[in-house]
Amino acid sequence: MLFFNNAATWLTMKLVTRAVKGTHDLFGDEIRFQRKILRNARQWLESAGAFELATPVFEFTEVFQRGVGQTTDIVQKEMYTFSDRAGRSITLRPEGTAGVIRAFIEHGMKVMPQPVRIWYAGPMFRAERPQKGRQRQFHQVGYEIIGSDSYVADAEAILLSYKILESLGLRQMRLRIGSVGDSQDRMKYNEYLNSVLTPHFDDLSTDSQRRLVSNPLRILDSKAPQDIALLQELDVKPLLEFMGEKSRKHFESVKKALEDLGIAYTIDSRIVRGLDYYAHTAWEIHHELLGSQSALGGGGRYDTLVETLGGAPSPGVGWALGLERVTLAMQAEGLSPDAASRPLIYIFPLAAEFAEKALLAAQSFWPQVSAQYSLSAKKPAKGLREAEKRGAKYAGIIGQDEAASEAITIKNLHTKEQKLLSLKDAAALLKGENNEAH
Ligand code: HAM
């Protein structure tokens, strides 16, 4: 019994001292990379007329079952689904679009001037096998244009994601674009896949045998070597060859618009995105220096999703970028994140009883001035060294005289000039400094 207790304690301690597999803590460079990506995304997207929408991280499971699609890997194997206390099925969002469309319908956004442009950011959850660039909790920034079926909206969406990535300094990207046609094209194509694959049913993986019945198109997305080999051996034709006039015209127009906008692309005739809501244009942006998880982002048109989720018909198009992947790409290209913030002044008390005065001084400089202070006493030489180590331009010293008179001795660490100032005058001096320039 004792052993069991110890083992249980050992296990508990193991569990409370590490993050769940596939999740991670963001701090240091990593969060500064994400902050930079989000800042650039916000600037580009809001300048194009988008407003920010923050949907809850969990929704009723039906939102994703219907939105993302029953036959997708996401819905079948990757969702974090649980019953809430009232026994309703709840799911942590595996992606952002379904929730955005739910909100679009719920808040009657169809009465707003159309199309509406929405951007969002936040954590997403998929129970995938973790590896570099693939996590169970990851972060996305996304953009949706809802209420237009124009090919120009597709071009705008792609353009904006490209511009955001370029504004971060990224250069080694490749846009892969394809079309998944409309529902009629897909029906024809599924019939074709059925006719060529059914005679080879036994050669397919179990997952793909199931897909052959539920949604043959998904077989093209299979990672199972036997499926890949079979598709190659049978020289299966791409969906592009089954597209009707309307789909073909839309695709041609998007490609032409991208050429006009100077965005290079390659055609990916077998593009199958991991979500069922796409129609017509679908694309991914890959990075040349990343390994197997090289997609920085992906998106496409979804003309029936609003109806699928119970709203009046409203065609849309959008994308999401994965912040962890964009970070890896920026690191691979040697780009830097936002600079770590350095204090303009570092204040230290010469005796422990003046620590509260150091706080008083710091708060008179906040928030315009970045001011850090020491909670413990420091001898002058040590305090000055510490100020330099933290990259401060000034050191603030609080001794007996300063503490008694609401004053502070300020030393410029570059010029070595030192003066005793009232807190008010010190605040005026520091606030006049350009925080960035030191
Ligand atoms: P998605 O292709 O599933 O599309 O995800 C977009 C991006 O999120 C991926 O290209 C990748 O960078 C990142 N990502 C996805 N899964 C993971 C993971 N497990 N770990 C790390 N990063 C990941 C969507 O989510 C659609 N909602 C995009 C969209 C918006 N389509 C239309 N509107």
- Looking at residue 16, its pLDDT comes to 87
Give Rg (Cα) of the chain.
Answer: 28
- Looking at residue 360, its pLDDT comes to 98
* Residues 130-151, mean pLDDT to the nearest whole number: 97
Q: State the distance from the centre of ligand 1 to the C-alpha of 95, rounded, in angstroms.
A: 7
Confidence of residue 4 (pLDDT cuts 50, 70, 90): low
Q: Which atom of ligand 1 is least distant from the CA of 96?
A: 27
* Residues 110-119, mean pLDDT to the nearest whole number: 97
* Residues 126-149, mean pLDDT to the nearest whole number: 97
Q: Same structural domain for residues 248 and 395?
A: no
Which of 325, 328, 330, when mutated, tests ligand 1's pocket best, judged by the most ligand atoms within 8 Å of its CB?
325
Confidence of residue 15 (pLDDT cuts 50, 70, 90): confident
Instruction: With CA atoms as reference, report the closest residue to 133 among 297, 264, 258.
Output: 297
With respect to residue 410, please indicate whether it lies within any of the assigned structural domains.
yes
* Residues 282-309, mean pLDDT to the nearest whole number: 96
Q: Please tell me which residue, 247 or 2, carries the higher pLDDT value.
A: 247
Cis peptide before 115 (omega within 30 of 0): yes
Confidence of residue 340 (pLDDT cuts 50, 70, 90): confident
With respect to residue 2, please indicate whether it lies within any of the assigned structural domains.
no
Instruction: Indicate whether 88 pLDDT > 90.
Output: yes
101's tokens: 């469309």
Q: State the distance from the centre of ligand 1 to the C-alpha of 324, rounded, in angstroms.
A: 11
* DSSP labels, 230-292: HHHHHTPPPGGGG--HHHHHHHHHHHHHHHHHT---EE-TT---S-TT--SEEEEEEETT--S
User: Is there an atom of ligand 1 within 6 Å of 99 CB?
Assistant: no
* pLDDT tens-digit map of 248-268: 999 999 999 999 999 999 999
pTM: 0.93
| CATH number, domain with residue 25 | 3.30.930.10
Domain boundary among 308, 332, 356: 332
Domain boundary among 291, 306, 332: 332
Instruction: With CA atoms as reference, report the closest residue to 56 among 6, 101, 21, 92.
Output: 92
Q: State the distance from the centre of ligand 1 to the C-alpha of 307, rounded, in angstroms.
A: 22
Closest Cα to atom 20, ligand 1: which residue? 134
Tell me the residue range of the domain where 433 lies. 345-437
Q: Same structural domain for residues 18 and 65?
A: yes
The answer to whether the CB of 165 falls within 8 A of the CB of 285 is yes
- Looking at residue 316, its pLDDT comes to 98
Q: State the distance from the centre of ligand 1 to the C-alpha of 186, rounded, in angstroms.
A: 23
* pLDDT tens-digit map of 379-423: 999 999 999 999 999 999 999 999 999 999 999 999 999 999 999
Q: Locate all alpha helices (DSSP H) within 26-85, ordered by sequence.
A: 29-47, 61-68, 73
Q: Which atom of ligand 1 is least distant from the CA of 275?
A: 3
With respect to residue 272, please indicate whether it lies within any of the assigned structural domains.
yes
Domain boundary among 332, 357, 382: 332
- Looking at residue 438, its pLDDT comes to 52
Q: Same structural domain for residues 432 and 315?
A: no
Q: Which DSSP helix (H) or strand (E) runs through 101?
A: helix 97-106
Percent of the chain with pLDDT over 90: 89
Based on the structure, what is the number of domains in the chain? 2
Closest Cα to atom 29, ligand 1: which residue? 319
* pLDDT tens-digit map of 33-83: 999 999 999 999 999 999 999 999 999 999 999 999 998 999 999 999 999
Q: Same structural domain for residues 165 and 267?
A: yes
Instruction: Indicate whether 112 pLDDT > 70.
Output: yes
Q: Same structural domain for residues 48 and 79?
A: yes
Q: Same structural domain for residues 84 and 33?
A: yes
